[in-house]
Amino acid sequence: MAKTKTGRFALVVKAGGDIELVTREVREPEAGWVRVKVQACGVCHSDSITKEGLFPGIAYPRVPGHEVVGLVDAIGDGVTQWKAGQRVGLGWYGGHCTKCNPCRRGDLVCCENLKIPGIAYDGGYAEYVLAPEIALAAVPESLAGAEAGPLLCAGITTFNALRNSGAQPPAVVAVLGMGGLGHLGVQYAAKMGFTTVAIARGADKARFAHELGAAHYIDSTVEDVSAALQKLGGAKTILATVTDADAMSAALGGLGHQGKFVVLGAAATPLKANVLPMLLRKQGIQGWPSGTAIDSEDTLKFSVAQGVRPLIEKYPLEKAAEAYARMMSGKARFRVVLEM
């Protein structure tokens, strides 16, 4: 008789409950699914959806985590894309329904029934994770697991938003905020050949912004952000990575002709927009939600080729609750990652 495999899982027992470490049996993958032995998993602010029960219908107990990197451990019936030992990643996109209008039109990450790892099914705060074959992305061997994890969420979101924004190098691209998403957005914009502008609070961040590749830095505590961007000719794209609606609203006026304001941060209050300039200059506001598995692969390949890396703080799995608290404090520099 085969010995039952067990593993450690950091899970939330109920909405608003603590993150607890348990040991339990590891299930075999069903048809079309893959089991992954986790090497690392990023800790993302969106994990609060599971921790606090912010989406309806989450089944508890639930293991959070959607920035997962590991090795294929077992495959279910019908799986043809992956084999044992392959290095794979799992991001925000965890599978789609195929039947809703966005799916039928090929916009899979906007699936109305999107299966988000750590929300729809158990995620990567664990030694093992099970996921649909279609949700996995190949991970280059040259990337450390802890480096690759955040690229599967913060990385893909900023990279994919920029390459789909309509801006062409060397257009002016501004990145609002230099936190977990923003410090990657600045790197991607610079490596793509844009005239990159970093916007943040405080003169002390200027040197760091330039080290990441920014050609210009705007300190929002002493400068009018919109006016400063207009002095540079106006931004073709402003990538808003902050969650402060007032900061976003203050930057909107910095768009140039046919400029696009791309929202990545979930603000709790509405934006305030001066509509007349938007009408006269054909400007727009757009949200952008991550990407699919192939977009993750593109992000990882570009990151390897161009030397884009997240700045991370690492914690062992048994300190998952501490790692989550560190991320939620806003004091991490800049992404928190669990290593198994």
Whether 220 maps to a domain, the answer reads yes
Same domain, 120 and 202: no
247 neighbors 220 (Cβ within 8 angstroms): yes
Whether 104 maps to a domain, the answer reads yes
Same domain, 13 and 70: yes
Give the C-alpha separation, 304 to 48, whole Å. Answer: 29
Give the C-alpha separation, 218 to 51, whole Å. Answer: 35
Same domain, 30 and 144: yes
Same domain, 298 and 149: yes
Position 206, amino acid: A
Same domain, 319 and 280: no
Same domain, 113 and 71: yes
Amino acid 131: pLDDT: 98
CATH of the domain at 32: 3.90.180.10
List per-residue pLDDT tens for the chain, 340 residues long. 457 899 999 999 999 999 999 999 999 999 999 999 999 999 999 999 999 999 999 999 999 999 999 999 999 999 999 999 999 999 999 999 999 999 999 999 999 999 999 999 999 999 999 999 999 999 999 999 999 999 999 999 999 999 999 999 999 999 999 999 999 999 999 999 999 999 999 999 999 999 999 999 999 999 999 999 999 999 999 999 999 999 999 999 999 999 999 999 999 899 999 999 999 999 999 999 999 999 999 999 999 999 999 999 999 999 999 999 999 999 999 999 999 9
Give the total number of structural domains in the chain: 2
Same domain, 224 and 77: no
Q: What is the DSSP string of 240-293?
A: E----HHHHHHHGGGEEEEEEEEE-S--SS-----HHHHHHTT-EEEE-----H
Tell me 28's DSSP state: P
* Closest to 22 (Cα-Cα) out of 10, 35, 31: 10
Same domain, 180 and 301: no
Where among 246, 261, 287 does a domain terminate?
Answer: 287
CATH of the domain at 176: 3.40.50.720
Whether 160 maps to a domain, the answer reads no
Query: Cα angle at 194 between 192 and 198, to 5 degrees?
Result: 110
Amino acid 208: pLDDT: 97
Whether 126 maps to a domain, the answer reads yes
Domain carrying residue 37: 6-153+291-339
Model pTM score: 0.95
Whether 1 maps to a domain, the answer reads no
Whether 188 maps to a domain, the answer reads yes
* Closest to 217 (Cα-Cα) out of 201, 194, 193: 201
Same domain, 283 and 295: no
Amino acid 4: pLDDT: 82
Where among 272, 287, 302 does a domain terminate?
Answer: 287
Residues with Cβ < 8 Å from 208, sequence gap 6 or more? 178
Whether 159 maps to a domain, the answer reads no
Whether 94 maps to a domain, the answer reads yes
Same domain, 224 and 322: no
Same domain, 295 and 282: no
Same domain, 42 and 144: yes
Where among 268, 287, 306 does a domain terminate?
Answer: 287
